[in-house]
Amino acid sequence: MPFAQIVVGPPGSGKTTYCKSMAHFLGLAGRDVAVVNLDPANENIPYTPVLSIFDLITLEDAMEAVQLGPNGGMLYCLDYLEKNLDWFVDELSKSNIKDKYLILDLPGQVELVTNHTAVPKVLEVLEKRLGYRLTVVNLIPSHLVLHPNLYLSALILSLQTMLHLSYPFISILSKIDTLSPSVSMVLDRNKTLLTSPISDDPFLARYNDLTESLVSLVEDFGLVGFLPLAVEDLRLVLRVAKDVDHASGY
């Protein structure tokens, strides 16, 4: 059975760096890897994809044709892909990907993976028509851990993404090498940094009880956890690869 990673994350999360590095790492490990670009705004991709959504539609074309902004244009492109799934399957079949380990590079726009139908439909096609065993890799910028309220938001969005996509799910804090050594060490030991999410701001203080309840829900039940990743650290890349293998049954 073939396998696939679906790499998602917000803009600036370093997802394309991870995708390129992971493909290279897996190639060195002896796996035959193919990368598919499904980001219609990703013009300067640092890898050679076996298939790109650019062959079907680009963000620039969508914005010009239907007079939409960047966010609306992105949604339009993924809707267009959903309506052309037969093209997607045919092009993948022509790409000689049989038995290859597939990495899908998705856009970072959060609503595409929290409440939109196109991405689940694409994944369903990969699973049911092409027989792929899928794992979702969700990338979150590591600097969010320095701001407890933003970190809590990232946790909730990660949980929503996990529930919406309904596949084995690995969450990553990317680029931890940009953090201070002390913070990186805490992350490396898989400890939480969600220790003081309560705000002193008078406007936000009204949400303190809600925030405490959300923190308790996430931490007490272990609903979402993050693996640290710095692409220069082979040990961390290997840990991520092993966790993805375990999730997919590779």
What pLDDT is attached to residue 187? 58
* HEC readout, 166-233: CCCEEEEEECHHHCCHHHHHHHHCCCCCCCCCCCCCCCHHHHHHHHHHHHHHHHHHCCCCEEEECCCC
99 or 69: which carries more pLDDT confidence?
Answer: 69
Check: CB of residue 88 under 8 Å from CB of residue 82. no
189 or 230: which carries more pLDDT confidence?
Answer: 230
Total domains in the chain come to: 1
Q: How far apart are CA 223 and CA 159, in angstroms?
A: 7
Q: Edge-to-edge strand order for the sheet containing 3-8?
A: 51-52, 33-37, 101-105, 3-8, 133-141, 169-174, 226-229
The two structure tokens encoding residue 160? 């929503």
Check: CB of residue 6 under 8 Å from CB of residue 136. yes
pTM, rounded to two decimals = 0.79
Q: How far apart are CA 194 and CA 179, in angstroms?
A: 16
Q: How far apart are CA 194 and CA 238, in angstroms?
A: 26
* HEC readout, 109-175: CCHHHHCCCHHHHHHHHHHHCCCCEEEEEEEEEHHHHHCHHHHHHHHHHHHHHHHHHCCCEEEEEEC
Most confident segment among 11-15, 43-47, 106-110 = 106-110
Name the residue range of residue 159's domain: 3-248
What pLDDT is attached to residue 183? 60
Q: What is the CATH number of the domain that holds 210?
A: 3.40.50.300
What pLDDT is attached to residue 234? 82
Q: How far apart are CA 112 and CA 94, in angstroms?
A: 27
Q: How far apart are the first and last CA of the chain?
A: 9
Most confident segment among 22-31, 145-154, 185-194 = 22-31
What pLDDT is attached to residue 189? 54
In the predicted model, what is the mean pLDDT of the chain? 80
Q: Using alpha carbons, list the distances in angstroms from residue 153 to 40, 145, 150.
A: 26, 10, 5
Q: Using alpha carbons, list the distances in angstroms from residue 69 to 62, 106, 203, 205.
A: 9, 19, 32, 35
Q: How far apart are CA 43 and CA 229, in angstroms?
A: 24
- pLDDT tens, position by position, 198-234: 556 677 677 777 777 777 777 677 777 788 888 777 8
